[in-house]
Amino acid sequence: MGRAAELRLLLDAVSEERPAVVLVEGEAGIGKSRLVSEASAVLGGRGLRVLAGGCHPLREPLAYGPVIDALRRIGPWLPPVERLGASAGALAPLLPDLAGALPEPPPEPPPGSSGAGGHRFRTAAGVRTLLEAVAPSVLVVEDVHWADEATQELLLLLARDMPTDAALVLTYRAEDLPGGRPVLGVPFRRPPSTGGAEIVLGPLGEAELRAMAREVLGGDPAPGLARVLLERSGGLPLVIEEDLITLARSPGGADVAALRVPRSLGEVLAERTGRLGPDAVALVDAAAVLAVPATPTLLAEAAGLDEDRADAALLEALGAVVLRQTGPDTYGFAHVLAREAVYDGIPGPVRSRAHRRVLEVLLAQDPAPLVQIAHHTRAMGDRAAWLPRAQAAADQATAVGDHGTAATLLQEILDQPGLTPEQLTHAAMALAYAASAGTEAPSTIRILRRILRVAGLPAVVRGRIRTSLGTLLSYEAGDLSGEEELLTALSEIGDSDPVAAARLLALLGLSEKGRFSLAEQRVMVERGYALLAGSEDHRVRSLLDLAGFLQRCVVADPAVPELLAALPREGDDIQALQRTAMIVCGGIGRSLGVGHDERAAAGIAEVRAMAPRARLPVQEFYLDSFQVELDWQAGRWDEAERGLAAFQERYPDSLLRPGRILATVRGLTAAARGLTAVAAAEFAQVLARGGLHLNSLGAATAIAGLHLSRNDPQAAWRDLTDPLDFLGFLDRKEAWAYAWGIVPTAVETLLVLDRPEEAEALAARHATEIEGRDAPGAVAEQHHCRGLLLRRDDPDAAMAAFELAAARWSDIGRPYRAALAAERAARTRTDLDEAAARLAGPVATFERLGAASDAARCHRLLRELGQVALNPRGRTGYGDRLSPREGQIRDLLASGATNKDIAAALFLSQRTVEKHVASVLAKLGTTRADLAHGPA
């Protein structure tokens, strides 16, 4: 009743907009389950395969429990196993009853080799494959507010990449979401290709209540009854239903005078159970204490009844609508509110006896339900017995991959006073492992920091936990404090665990920040190998190999191609393939840094092809970010912008370090298009978050370039040297081969500041450091530096140097950098006609890329050279059409540029810009605000 509009919205979204994601929100008792049940029946009639599972507040460990519970019913719909994608095999261990219908599970990777993230991606891929195999399909997961983090992330991964002919329906109570966080743990943004709806259920009104009363009471309700019921229930369907059932069963009939039931749901159920016999009351109390749906046998044992008495009691409870059948052979309460109401009404001594009796029954089961056993032990107040039982339940949850349940239990254990050192160590290490297998870096970081505040932890245990914290801070959150945590962990571990120390040295050797020099990092890696001597820990050895390889990439070692070619790429050795994929993927960013774009493109393609065999789907994140950078450098700016939008859609909350490069790309595009304020904000964000970092070099160069364009060389030099000394950073990291333009920009800044000797010294140092290195980008920059140094005294030689730089950038495949160098060459020409002719190429490139500011700068120079021909008939008339200049201004307005931005971008006075803007808006018949929020 009263849900016709919501039902239609849900059905339309799932039936017509697949792939679809539907979120159904509402308080307890509002009718979420009934709405989804009605919709499922209709969808099933339309030929969709509906699979349903639910989350529970008290459940035994099962990784991805509600989703796996739903998939158990998929068997009759599955195609032959040979037609299923291999990724479905990842679910075989979780669905043993369907193992014969699924492909063979993939071999287990070495412990920790791909991390929990890789396992979650494989599980999500398997679920996606099954939904696709039985499409059109609908996966329904109810009460997601009770889902653990691993299940949340699985649902989030599905929601962001649904199979084409499938839908996901989630129900939840917003008020019960932990910490008020979003239902999927992070804000969910529906992908552009995915349909769906967000349905919020509210209370029923009087008309709907009257219709319900007619259905239950068999006729129109007595005058005033609906108003009284509405006032009592607040429009909550569950309470309305319970009131109506009570009225229908009352001797006085359906009349206001007969409605003697007190107001609250608890009292409604108290009256109803008050009419039951002693055996039925005992059975209902047992069901309330059990807290989860149970079989008749378990209910009978928990209530202390023999089979015959229990059967009669169950029939009586069902007849009184106190209990309901919840599964093929399980019974419980229709709603969590009903269970809580009955439980709260049980007197304390009776409740304790019930918990004790239930505990005895559960302890006799095989396998024992450890989570429930711990729950009932704690409810009895027996702390001494609860502690080992809670630890056993947590260990079981960890063993089956249910890290959310494990973390909940372990946090409860650590909250207990007086733990022994052994108990403390076990719980702390287990919680650190469970947290590190979690889904959200911020949440995991909070948990790990909380563990480290626990008093009494041994130093080596603290060091292992701090290693996890430092790794997350450094390599996922981009937090500059991560390295200090890793160094502290190294001192805490000391000589007690050589393998753990070697791993820490590898992580520190991988750092791209300015805390350590490259020479110091080489020593770290060598020390790590020495500590690892004789150990078979392939994961740590691979990390050391990766660190050593990337150190050679930074200095553009000519041996890098040979090292890459020697990596194993064939065979079934998963460890070897993962090592290869890690090293190739790590080298992509370094290849882009030194100007080996073709090598980077080949690396992206190779790792994408290897990822399924190497079982490293998490690498997709890095590959997507590298592809955006590569597209931008190659002059595919439209593709880069689409890739950037897709990246932000796919990874909206990521804090991982490639974001620095992507923010730099956004800033460089904005600067080229004249949006200097937007560009400066992007660059400032990179520098604030990254500090001295290899991936911050581009932002430091760009923001210095903005200052130079404003004739402020002092500010440019400050940004290069104070408070972050990027030139000193190049020296410490031996990163002179990195071609983000920092050396040419510094040389130009020094020349503008009239410090030619320092400029020459810097260029000479750069030339020395890149000699013998395999760094085409650095070679192009050295030619650029030479052109800057020669342009005053020897323009012809300077022009030749800039032309060499342009040719090198063109060979690399970077048209924008080539056009900038070619523009420099043209500006150095002494022959005005020849200078103007040579500007044609850069202008064409800038205009093709949409680099309006660069194109306008060249056009201004052409005007100064007298190369803009006047129309003998006067100015061309465009009528209602936009002129080319007005088209540029329209594009800038659409991107949010101010008049000041436009003036700076197009080298016009603000007064001229005001006239152009007024003309553009008049011709388009729009406003500035509307233009900035949508296409003209």
Average pLDDT for 201-211: 85
**What pLDDT is attached to residue 822?**
96
What length does the chain have?
936
Query: pLDDT-based confidence at 491, cuts 50/70/90?
Result: very high
Tokens linked to 297: 């046998």
State the angle between helix axes of 697-709 and 742-752 in degrees (0 to 180), rounded to the nearest 10: 30
**What pLDDT is attached to residue 108?**
55
Average pLDDT for 33-61: 89
pLDDT higher than threshold 80 for residue 530: yes
Distance of CA 110 to the CA centre of its chain: 25
Strand 324-327 with 330-332, pairing:
antiparallel
Please list, in sequence order, all residues whose beta carbon lies within 8 angstroms of the beta carbon of residue 115, skipping any fewer than 6 positions away: 618
pTM, two decimals, is 0.68
Q: Which range has highest mean pLDDT (339-343, 683-687, 802-806)?
A: 802-806
**What pLDDT is attached to residue 554?**
95
State the angle between helix axes of 482-493 and 459-475 in degrees (0 to 180), rounded to the nearest 10: 160
Q: How far apart are CA 610 and CA 619, in angstroms?
A: 10
List the beta bridge partners of residue 693: 513
**What pLDDT is attached to residue 189?**
76
Strand 195-200 with 324-327, pairing:
unpaired
Query: Could you tell me which residue, 498 or 877, shows the higher pLDDT?
Result: 498
Query: Could you tell me which residue, 881 or 470, shows the higher pLDDT?
Result: 470
Q: Which range has highest mean pLDDT (20-34, 260-274, 629-643)?
A: 629-643
Query: pLDDT-based confidence at 113, cuts 50/70/90?
Result: very low
Lowest mean pLDDT, pick from 397-401, 414-418, 927-931: 927-931
Strand 195-200 with 166-172, pairing:
unpaired
pLDDT higher than threshold 70 for residue 116: no
Largest CA distance in the chain: 111
Rg of the chain taking only CA atoms, in angstroms: 34
pLDDT higher than threshold 90 for residue 184: no
**What pLDDT is attached to residue 659?**
53
Please list, in sequence order, all residues whose beta carbon lies within 8 angstroms of the beta carbon of residue 776, skipping any fewer than 6 positions away: 594, 595, 596, 739, 808, 811, 812
Q: What is the DSSP string of 557-595?
A: -TTHHHHHHTS--SSS-HHHHHHHHHHHHHHHHHHHHHT
Strand 166-172 with 324-327, pairing:
unpaired
Closest by CA position to 188, among listed 172, 212, 164:
172
Q: What is the 3-state secondary structure of 484-526?
A: HHHHHHHHHHCCCCHHHHHHHHHHHHCCCECCCCHHHHHHHHH
**What pLDDT is attached to residue 1?**
79
Q: What is the pLDDT of residues 382-408, one digit of tens each?
A: 888 999 999 999 988 888 778 778 888
Please list, in sequence order, all residues whose beta carbon lies within 8 angstroms of the beta carbon of residue 935, skipping any fewer than 6 positions away: 894
Average pLDDT for 608-613: 82
Q: Cβ of 79: how many Cβ atoms within 10 Å?
A: 10
Phi first, then psi, for residue 351 (nearest 5°) are -65, -45
Query: Could you tell me which residue, 436 or 911, shows the higher pLDDT?
Result: 911
**What pLDDT is attached to residue 704?**
95
Q: What is the pLDDT of residues 705-730, one digit of tens each?
A: 999 998 999 999 999 998 889 999 99
Mean per-residue pLDDT of the chain: 85
Lowest mean pLDDT, pick from 367-381, 527-541, 645-659: 645-659
Query: pLDDT-based confidence at 254, cuts 50/70/90?
Result: low
Query: pLDDT-based confidence at 935, cuts 50/70/90?
Result: very low
**What pLDDT is attached to residue 52?**
93
Tokens linked to 678: 């937007």
Average pLDDT for 903-924: 72
Q: What is the pLDDT of residues 796-822, one digit of tens each?
A: 999 999 999 999 999 999 999 999 999
List the beta bridge partners of residue 138: 50, 167
What percentage of the chain carries pLDDT values higher than 70? 90
Query: pLDDT-based confidence at 114, cuts 50/70/90?
Result: very low
What percentage of the chain carries pLDDT values higher than 90? 42
Average pLDDT for 480-501: 92
pLDDT higher than threshold 80 for residue 928: no
Average pLDDT for 638-665: 75
Q: Output DSSP code: residue 60.
A: -
Please list, in sequence order, all residues whose beta carbon lies within 8 angstroms of the beta carbon of residue 581, skipping any fewer than 6 positions away: 607, 610, 611, 614, 616, 619
Average pLDDT for 729-737: 95
Query: pLDDT-based confidence at 618, cuts 50/70/90?
Result: low
Closest by CA position to 826, among listed 849, 806, 856, 852:
806
Host H or E run for residue 698: helix 697-709
List the beta bridge partners of residue 325: 331
Average pLDDT for 73-90: 86
Query: pLDDT-based confidence at 503, cuts 50/70/90?
Result: very high
Query: Could you tell me which residue, 171 or 451, shows the higher pLDDT?
Result: 171
List the beta bridge partners of residue 330: 327
Q: How far apart are CA 279 and CA 924, in angstroms?
A: 80
**What pLDDT is attached to residue 260?**
42
**What pLDDT is attached to residue 426?**
87
**What pLDDT is attached to residue 209?**
84
pLDDT higher than threshold 70 for residue 112: no
Strand 195-200 with 137-142, pairing:
unpaired
